[in-house]
Amino acid sequence: MSRATLGWIVLGWVGYALLPWYGFDRSAAPNFASYIGGSGLAHGLKGAWWLLPVLSPLLMSLRPALLPPRNGNSTWLIASGILGLGLIVLQGFSIGLNGWTLDALRSLTGGTGPSQGGMGYGAALTSIAFLIILCHGLAARGWCRGDAFVTSSIGTVVALITVFVFFPVTTILASAFADNAGNFAPLEFVTKFMDRSIWGLDCLSSDLRCGVAWNTLFLGLLVGVGTTALGLAFALIATRTAFRYKKLLRVMSVLPIITPPFVIGLALILIFGRSGALSSVLWEWFGIPRSRWIYGLPGIFIAQLLAFTPIAFLVLIGVVQGISPTLEEASQTLRAKSWTTFVTVTLPLMRPGLANAFLLGFVESLADFGNPLVLGGNFEVLSTKIFFAVVGAQQDQGRAAVLSIILLAFTLGAFWLQHAWLGKKVYTTVTGKGDAGIPLPLPRRVALASYFTAIPWALFTVAVYVIILIGAFVRSMGRDYTPTLEHFLTAFRVERAERGLFFSGSAWDSFFATVKVAALAAPLTAAIGLLTAYLLTRQRFSGQRAFEFGTLLSFAIPGTVVGVSYILAFNVPPIEITGTGFVLVMCFVFRNMPVGVRSGIATLSQIDKSLDEASLTLGARSATTMRRVVLPLLRPAIVAALVYSFVRAMTAVSAVIFLVTAEYNMATTYIVGRVEAGEFGLAIAYSTVLIVVMLFAILAIQVVVGERRLGRRAASPSPSPVAVQAIP
């Protein structure tokens, strides 16, 4: 019996007998009486009989704790853990706010039954304790080489994913098979699924519209190809040419990632719209009639290219840098021309990078909500369609669920295809051996092609951001160009009051809430993500593939669906957390965790396992090894996970729109409201402030975490600021 196990048994008792079992009534301040008097034990003795059985597994856990070590101890621990968790879950789900939750129980007992509220700290602590006791028991049985740290980590991550991913997602997907009244109706699913507005192919034969599924797929493929091509051009210029302004490229690559949604779409309207800057010039100087071509597929395509090319660039730059020149030199020694070398050696070696970049562009395009909303015109995509199925005049949640299933299928299909294409070929070129070569210069035509695509595009990106910047400082973009600070004052006014400063601007509340939630979510995301990555790469256990799939799932689900599913799942006991900041944090953590996992896996697979083994051989436990050896080597992945989750928490819209409350209003929902009201100036001004804040945050994260120092010459790919090479 280790001290750790004993500690958890004690904590289990504390949670049951000393801490309040139920959540606080939010309208009253918690006091001492509600602490002890509200414990599970006290409630149980006062009449909540369903809490009393939890006492028995707690007593069971005492046996191995008090008696001298012997063989049966692990069995007692396992039994106690399973029974405890089972009892808590069972009573939590069968007794709700309004009595029995199952009709069967109601008719059986002939009444509504007892009622209870959502679980509080006590219940949470006791449940965690049971979970860990179970994991320790399994370790004592010899699971995972008897390493209690590993079993506990696996148990914790599995439990968290079950509660915060599987539970809400199944709740909403179940509604795909229900009619509006909530009854089981599989036929309804079939009719909704086969709808012509989803799968219609009329646009091929006539000028009718095609189904929304085809639209989405087509747009995703276009954006995937486009971002990969542009990203490759940028990456080649940045690594293989003597281009002068490489630093600038780097900065530009980060900008679109930290731009709040809507902003790029708005800027495009202000340039290409019928009354846009460029359209006016073309009309006045060349007589080219103004048109509305920007609304629809072209507009969304351009906006998404702008937004997602940097991601492709960041993925590809790592890959291009990582290609060892040795192979290319070999090819040249064998007298291949530089063009032949590029096509037969360099390009094939980039395959994993290209596949990753394409996949990311495709998935991001599928999940994008802001740009289609602003620029969509009559071109409909799944993400907006889902949103309006929930909030629009139809109010049809089942339809939203059906559409989500289709979107989910596309995303998972793309992951699967990528896996199949890359196959089991080896692309490793970063090895322990020294690389003496210098990267070959690009063949002429490739260099020219790269310059001709990348430089105009870079100028275009700059133009878009100039427009955004101007928009924040003029009265009304497109109509009235009087310079003004009015927008900033409305949003961020600070007044000097008697007792210090008073933040009277209308945006301060949402701004503080956003920063707070993002700052809490980022470290949690990084911690859980990297722990999962460590488990996936360094440990072997059964069910590993399913475990990996679970971590990916929340990334593939569109934000709107996540938002609605969180309300459905977490607004009622036993886990009642909507309306709190906690639910926002959890939502972000589990939406962005896959990035932490992926960047962790990518970095960990570069680090030789022998380092861990050396540490273990020298007698360190795996927790110590993790802290002293693995973590310092993981710095690039930590930076990536922190930055990504912080930025995403500040820019996500669709997932949080249902979860915000008065206290926890998010910046993006505020901006959406401004856009809806037509106050583009204010929306853009707020966005520029957010961009600046995120830039500072990224810098701060890089300074605090620091760089990884490897004792070798620069051969490994330098860590990219936002490592989105992340995804498989």
Partner 1 sequence: MKLKKNLVAATMLAGSMTALAFLSAGAAQAQGALVMYCGVQEEWCRAMVGAFERDTGIKVSMTRKSSGEIFAQVKAEAANPRADIWWGGTGDPHMQAAEEGLTEEYTSPKMNELQDWAMRQWEQSKKRTVGIYSGALGFGYNTELAKANNVPEPKCWADLLKPGLKDEVQVADPNSSGTAYTLLATIVQIMGEEKGFEYLKALHKNVNQYTKSGAAPAKAMAQGETTAGIAFMHDIVTMVVDKAPVKVVAPCEGTGYEIGSMSIIKGAKNLDSAKKFYDWALTADAQKLGAEAKSYQVPSNKSTPIPPQAPKLTDIKLINFNFAKYGSSEERKRLLSKWDSEVKNLPK
User: Among residues 559 and 594, whose Cβ is nearest to partner 1?
Assistant: 559
**Binders in 275-304 for partner 1, by CB under 8 A:** 275, 292, 295
**Binders in 531-570 for partner 1, by CB under 8 A:** 564, 567-568
How many residues lie near partner 1 (CB under 8 A)?
73
Residue from 34, 241, 606, 661 that binds partner 1 (CB under 8 A)? Answer: 661
Q: What angle do CA 415, 421, 425 make, to 5 degrees?
A: 120
**Binders in 601-660 for partner 1, by CB under 8 A:** 657-658, 660
User: Among residues 510 and 603, whose Cβ is nearest to partner 1?
Assistant: 510
**Binders in 29-48 for partner 1, by CB under 8 A:** 29-31
Residue 110, phi-psi category: left (phi > 0), alpha (psi -120 to 50), beta (remainder): left
Distance between CA atoms of residues 247 and 244, nearest Å = 8
The answer to whether 270 and 277 are in contact (CB under 8 A) is yes
User: Among residues 421 and 582, whose Cβ is nearest to partner 1?
Assistant: 582
**501: β partners:** 496
Question: Residues near 134 by Cβ (< 8 Å), separated by ≥ 6?
Answer: 77, 78, 80, 81, 82, 85, 155
**Binders in 570-589 for partner 1, by CB under 8 A:** 571-573, 576-582, 585
**Binders in 6-25 for partner 1, by CB under 8 A:** 23-24
The structure tokens 């070929």 sit at 425
CB of 592 to partner 1, least distance (A): 19
CB of 702 to partner 1, least distance (A): 26
**Binders in 455-514 for partner 1, by CB under 8 A:** 476, 478-480, 506
Distance between CA atoms of residues 261 and 444, nearest Å = 38
- Residue 677 interacts with partner 1 (CB under 8 A): yes or no: yes
Distance between CA atoms of residues 515 and 519, nearest Å = 6
Residue from 39, 239, 331, 384 that binds partner 1 (CB under 8 A)? Answer: 384
Residue from 41, 269, 536, 694 that binds partner 1 (CB under 8 A)? Answer: 269
Cis peptide before 574, with omega less than 30 degrees from 0?
A: yes
User: Among residues 484 and 661, whose Cβ is nearest to partner 1?
Assistant: 661
Distance between CA atoms of residues 257 and 250, nearest Å = 12
User: Among residues 560 and 625, whose Cβ is nearest to partner 1?
Assistant: 560
**Binders in 66-105 for partner 1, by CB under 8 A:** 96-98
The token duo for 286 is 């060349």
In order, the DSSP letters of 592-653 are HHHHHHHHHHHHHTTS-HHHHHHHHHTT--HHHHIIIIIHHHTHHHHHHHHHHHHHHHHH--
CB of 665 to partner 1, least distance (A): 7
Residue 483: phi and psi, rounded to 5, are -65, 140
User: Among residues 378 and 610, whose Cβ is nearest to partner 1?
Assistant: 378
Distance between CA atoms of residues 537 and 532, nearest Å = 9
Residue from 373, 381, 526, 690 that binds partner 1 (CB under 8 A)? Answer: 373
The answer to whether 41 and 16 are in contact (CB under 8 A) is yes
**Binders in 681-720 for partner 1, by CB under 8 A:** none
Residue from 71, 378, 542, 617 that binds partner 1 (CB under 8 A)? Answer: 378
Residue 125, phi-psi category: left (phi > 0), alpha (psi -120 to 50), beta (remainder): alpha
CB of 274 to partner 1, least distance (A): 5
Residue from 344, 394, 431, 504 that binds partner 1 (CB under 8 A)? Answer: 394
The token duo for 669 is 């929902």
Residue from 38, 64, 137, 273 that binds partner 1 (CB under 8 A)? Answer: 273
- Using CB under 8 A as the criterion, what x/- string covers residues 206-245 for binding partner 1? xxxx------------------------------------
User: Among residues 393 and 501, whose Cβ is nearest to partner 1?
Assistant: 393
**Binders in 299-358 for partner 1, by CB under 8 A:** none
CB of 21 to partner 1, least distance (A): 14
Distance between CA atoms of residues 193 and 402, nearest Å = 6
Which stretch in 377-385, 436-444, 524-532, 546-554 sits in contact with partner 1 by CB under 8 A? 377-385
User: Among residues 31 and 610, whose Cβ is nearest to partner 1?
Assistant: 31
Distance between CA atoms of residues 182 and 187, nearest Å = 14
**Binders in 99-128 for partner 1, by CB under 8 A:** 121
User: Among residues 103 and 676, whose Cβ is nearest to partner 1?
Assistant: 676
Which stretch in 238-246, 268-276, 457-465, 709-717 sits in contact with partner 1 by CB under 8 A? 268-276
Question: Residues near 58 by Cβ (< 8 Å), separated by ≥ 6?
Answer: 12, 13, 16, 80, 84
Which stretch in 4-12, 57-65, 202-210, 246-254 sits in contact with partner 1 by CB under 8 A? 202-210
Question: Residues near 663 by Cβ (< 8 Å), separated by ≥ 6?
Answer: 513, 581
Which stretch in 28-36, 452-460, 497-505, 623-631 sits in contact with partner 1 by CB under 8 A? 28-36
Give the residue among 554, 561, 562, 552 at the shortest CA–CA distance from 584: 562
Give the residue among 242, 695, 289 at the shortest CA–CA distance from 465: 695
User: Among residues 468 and 657, whose Cβ is nearest to partner 1?
Assistant: 657
